[in-house]
Structure 1
Amino acid sequence: MISTDKQKQQNVPKKSGLSEKTKDRLSAYLYISPFFLIFSLVGLYPAVFSLYLSFHRWDGLTPMTSAGLNNFKIVLEDPLFWKALSNTLIIGIMGTAPQLVVGILLAFLLNLSVLKMKHFFRVTIFMPYITSLVAVALVFSVFFSNNETALANYILSLFGMEPINWKTSEWGTKVAISLMVFWRWVGYNTIIYLAGLQSIPKDLYEAATIDGASRPQQLRFITLPLLKPFITLTVFFSTVGALQLFAEPTVFLGNAAFSRDEAMTIVMYLYRDAFQLQSYGTASATAVILLIIIVTLAAINTFLSSGIGRQRRVRK
């Protein structure tokens, strides 16, 4: 009997192939593989090649030659680069810092229970974000025309001020582009803040009201601490977007955007080196420097936001 049982066990065919758990894992990887393939071709490879190119001299046609750190030296010793960096920081602060404050205020207004036609106002305030950038630039070109009868100069004349050449003056160009950035992105941040406000449980406000907390106290100890992750997110996105500013000044100034330095940004400087001067080595070096600046400023903003939140909890 024992030998017969062993023979039956030997005659039973063993299950071959992969287990169900392994098949599930493989199918999951197959589903997400298109993203990684596209990202490798469109994102990862250009980034690695740009880093490699920053240490070489290349015009796109002739063979590459090693340049070491000479490309970074050329960029850092160029006065136009530092002018582009200062323009980027100034326009970024003027265009993004006010929109964060105004976005929070608008989110509070849109979240009021007494406000009527909420859906209309929410859609309206988000419209600039989805509006074509070319159309936005055309509208602002009319508003900030150098003509004395333009809307911006007309408003200045009401206060007894002289008209400004918005597209040729140093600060006039920066103000016009900053207002364009502010108008286009304030609705985007408002919607994010509004989502954060609506995610806060109402029970917290009811309990605070029962305990005798006033509206300012509820705002300080409930709303702002719970809204801090959304504020950190918008500050991070705004910082990255401000340092990558390219479309607004290019479309607003047209062909003259790369011939003058009033509104030259770092990305415009990079674009000029790559596609106008055919100096891909210095352009790639500029991209690496820009990446370092973005990572540094984003880390500082995140650290400051986290530090403010910790101080508030300690004080509480």
Structure 2
Amino acid sequence: MKNNSGTTGSKKKKYVSEKKKDMRSAYLYIAPFFIVFAIIGLYPAIFSIFLAFQEWNGLGPMEYVGLRNFTIVLEDPLFWKSLYNTVIIGLMGTAPQLIVGIILAYFLNMAIIRFTNFFRVTIFMPYITSMVAVALVFGVFFSSNESALANYFIGLFGFDPISWKTSEWGAKIAISLMVFWRWVGYNTIIYLAGLQSIPKDVYEAATIDGASKVQQFFFITIPLLKPFIVLTVFMSTVGALQLFAEPTVFLGSSAFSRDEAMTVVMYLYRDAFNLGSFGTASATAVLLLIIIVGAAAINTWLTSGAGRKKKKGV
């Protein structure tokens, strides 16, 4: 009998070498992403955590101060004020947009609605609109003048004119409406994609069983949209706690000198680039990361229904 061990071994080595070549090729294809991520994503995050324990003005040598930066931030009333502003504006701006987004998506998904493509594009337009244009529009609408559109509108109901950019709640309401207007279309499109993934047979069966449109919405649409609702709640929570662009462009040059609508990210920016205290700014960033992770986890847990008690016997 012939000995085929040598032939088998050569085939095995050739297979292993081909497999290694394929692995090298795959790693080379995905390497650019990880290199860019390490440079502009991972390294700044690690350096920020390191900087949170240092005292540094951006130019001179660093000095290790331990937890002193965290103590300074946590003892600063302005930090807690900025956190309060962030939570209030976040709730006022994001919670309504999620509810309205589901309703808009539901109507846009109905076959009886005409020109649906036009309405879809129109609703999504604010998301891709330049922040400069948004600031100009809302700056005119919420001007402090008595003749401004917002003051004229509330004057029809007998209310006095409001100084939107300087009053405590005026600034919060205006910024919340800006956030709502800009992001409601984005969430609507996500919900619309979720609605289109629901089989129409489910609604037809519910209609045959005598379920009304309202019952179908609450007992079919909402439960089947659950993964999309969890996604939008998670993204909205993270975005609300990182709010920066809207209040900055709305308040203009006075955004960092007053505390009516200063958010945590604005507080962080002020410490780093206005006061030159990169240590306390990095400490604020670390605290914000902890808050975001905690808030996102709680919201996702509540939205996904993980907190519901299981029925006995199930």
Under TM normalisation by the shorter chain, which class is it? over 0.9
Identify the residue that residue 154 of structure 2 maps to in structure 1. 156
Letter in 2 for 1:117: F
> Any idea what SS the aligned residue of 1:72 has?
helix
Contact 1:146 1:165 in 2 (8 A): yes
User: 1:168 — aligned with what?
Assistant: 166
**TM-score w.r.t. structure 2 length?**
0.93
Q: Which residue of 2 aligns with 1:71?
A: 69
**Within the alignment, does 1:284 sit opposite 2:282 as a pair?**
yes
2:301–2:307 contact (8 Å) kept in structure 1: no
- What is the distance in 1 between the residues matched to 2:311 and 2:224? 11
Asked if structure 2 preserves the Cα contact closer than 8 Å seen for 1:228 and 1:309, the reply is no
Map 1:247-262 onto structure 2 (within 5 A): 247-262=245-260
Residue from 282, 290, 293 that aligns with 2:291: 293
Assess if the C-alpha contact under 8 Å between 2:97 and 2:183 holds in 1: yes
CA contact (8 A) 1:225 1:309 kept: no
- Counterpart in the other structure of 1:59: 57
- Residue 239 of structure 2 corresponds to 241
* Amino acid across the alignment from 2:206: A
**Take 2:83 and 2:5, find their aligned partners in 1: how far apart are those partners?**
77
Residue 33 of structure 1 pairs with residue 31 of structure 2: yes
Distance 1:122 1:168 in 2: 35
Aligned-pair CA distance for 1:309: 8.9
Maintained 8 Å contact 1:129/1:187: yes
**Aligned CA-pair RMSD:** 2.3
- Choose the corresponding residue for 2:44, options 46, 61, 70: 46
| Match in the other structure for 1:82 | 80
TM-score (norm 1): 0.92
Is the partner of 2:210 in helix, strand or coil? coil
Q: Which has the larger radius of gyration?
A: 1
Q: Distance in 1 between matches of 2:203 and 2:186?
A: 26
CA distance in 2, matches of 1:114, 1:152: 34
Partner of residue 122, structure 1: 120
Are the equivalent residues in 1 in contact too, given 2:54–2:64 (CA < 8 A)?
yes
The match for 1:94 among 82, 87, 92 is: 92
Pick closer, same or farther for the CA change 1:312–1:254 going to 2, 3 Å.
farther
Q: Distance in 1 between matches of 2:46 and 2:307?
A: 37
Cα distance in 1 between the residues matched to 2:311 and 2:148: 50
Distance 1:170 1:220 in 2: 37
| Percent sequence identity over aligned pairs | 72
Distance change >3 Å, CA 95–CA 10, structure 1 → 2: closer
Structure 2 unaligned segments of length 5 or more: list them.
none
Q: Give the drift of 1:112.
A: 1.1
Distance in 2 separating the partners of 1:303 and 1:289: 21
Counterpart of 1:267 in structure 2 is 265
How far apart are 1:224 and its partner, in Å?
1.0
Aligned residues: 310
> What amino acid sits opposite 1:140 in the alignment?
F
SS in 1 for 2:304: helix
**Which residue among 110, 113, 116 is the counterpart of 1:112?**
110
Paired position in structure 2 for 1:145: 143
8 Å CA contact 1:180, 1:248 repeated in 2: yes
Give 3-state SS (helix, strand or coil) of 1:307's partner. coil
Deviations 1:204-243 (A, max 9, x none): 1122223333333322332111101101111111100000
> C-alpha displacement at 1:139, in angstroms?
0.6
Further displaced range: 289-298 or 13-22: 13-22
Unaligned runs of 5+ in 1: none
Q: Deviations over 1:282-304 (max 9, x none)?
A: 00000000000000000000110
Contact 1:55 1:68 in 2 (8 A): yes
Give 2:85's aligned amino acid.
Answer: N
Distance 2:78 2:196 in 1: 46
- CA separation in 2, counterparts of 1:91 and 1:252? 14
Question: Helix, strand or coil for the counterpart of 1:171?
Answer: helix
Who is 2:212 aligned against? 214
In the alignment, which of 121, 133, 152 is matched to residue 135 of structure 1?
133
* CA drift at 1:21: 2.3
Q: Which amino acid aligns with 1:20?
A: E
Distance 1:117 1:10, change over 3 A: closer
